[in-house]
Amino acid sequence: MIRIGNILVSKGEGGVYGERMLEGYRVWDPYRSKLAALYLVGTGIDLIPGMKVLYLGAANGTTVSHVADYVEVVYAVEFAPRPMQDLLEVARRRTNVIPIMADASRPEQYAPLVEAVDLLYQDVAQPDQAAIALANCAFLKPGGHLILMLKTRSVDIRKEPAEIFRDTLDILISAGITVRESTWLAPYHQDHAAIVCTR
C-alpha cells in the first residue's frame, strides 16, 4: 500500500469525492473508509495489480474508487438506487469498476456476471453479515481472502459489540474459514471491527 509519511494514498486519475490530493496522489481518508482504517490500525491484505475483487456494499463508490486505483478489476455490488447513481459515475471514469445492482445476500443474482476473485470485501450493515460473507466465499479462488467489515450494532443492538465480534468469529471459524487478523477500527470507526480471513 502506498503511504506518504503516515498518510495512506492511492494513485488515480482525478478526485472522486472531493478528497485531498498530495504529491499527485489521492488521500485515502480512514474516517471515511473502513478499509483505509484497517490499513492504519492493522495489516489487511495488500491490494496489488492483477488482483480481482468482489466488493459487497459499494455505496457511492468512495472506497471502491481507491481499491480500483490499485487492482485489475472491482465487481461492485450495491442494492440501493441512490448510491448506485454515484457508483455509476465512478464506473464511467474507472473502466475497471463493474457496478452491479443486486442484493449481496442473493449471490445467485450476480453469479453469471462475476469471475473467481482474489479478494472478497464486504461492508454491508445487515443483521446477517457473517452469513452473507459465507454465501459469497464461493466466488473466492482457493487461497483467496475475505475482509469482513463488521458493524456490530447492525447485527444486534441489544448485545455488547465484543460479544457480536466473538460470535461472528465463531461462525466463520466453524465454517472452515481461517482467520488471519481481527481488529477493532477505533479510533476511526466506533463499534466496527475488521476480520481478515483466508479461504
Catalog residues that contact ligand SAM under the rule CB under 6 A: 33-34, 57, 59, 62-63, 77-80, 83, 103-105, 123-126
- For residues 122 and 173, which CB has a smaller minimum distance to ligand SAM in the complex? 122
Residue 78 annotated as part of some ligand binding site: yes
Residue 152 annotated as part of some ligand binding site: no
Residue 139 annotated as part of some ligand binding site: no
- For residues 34 and 52, which CB has a smaller minimum distance to ligand SAM in the complex? 34
Residue 183 annotated as part of some ligand binding site: no
Residue 196 annotated as part of some ligand binding site: no
How many Å separate Cα 173 from the centre of its chain? 20
Shortest spacing between CB 55 and ligand SAM, in angstroms: 7
Shortest spacing between CB 142 and ligand SAM, in angstroms: 25
Cis amide leading into 49 (omega within 30):
no
Residue nearest to ligand SAM (CB): 57
Shortest spacing between CB 123 and ligand SAM, in angstroms: 4
What is the side-by-side strand order in the sheet with 7-10? 2-4, 7-10, 25-27, 21-22
- For residues 92 and 176, which CB has a smaller minimum distance to ligand SAM in the complex? 92
- For residues 52 and 151, which CB has a smaller minimum distance to ligand SAM in the complex? 151
Shortest spacing between CB 186 and ligand SAM, in angstroms: 16
SS (H, E, C) the chain: CEEECCEEEECCCCCCCCCCEECCEEECCCCCCHHHHHHHHCCCCCCCCCCEEEEECCCCCHHHHHHHHHCCEEEEEECCHHHHHHHHHHHHHCCCEEEEECCCCCHHHCHHHCCCEEEEEECCCCCCHHHHHHHHHHHEEEEEEEEEEEEHHHHCCCCCHHHHHHHHHHHHHHCCCEEEEEEECCCCCCCEEEEEEEC
Shortest spacing between CB 83 and ligand SAM, in angstroms: 5
Residue 125 annotated as part of some ligand binding site: yes
- For residues 21 and 80, which CB has a smaller minimum distance to ligand SAM in the complex? 80
Distance CA 18, CA 71 (A): 22
Show binding-site residues: 62-63, 78-79, 103-104, 123-126
Show binding-site residues for S-adenosyl-L-methionine: 62-63, 78-79, 103-104, 123-126
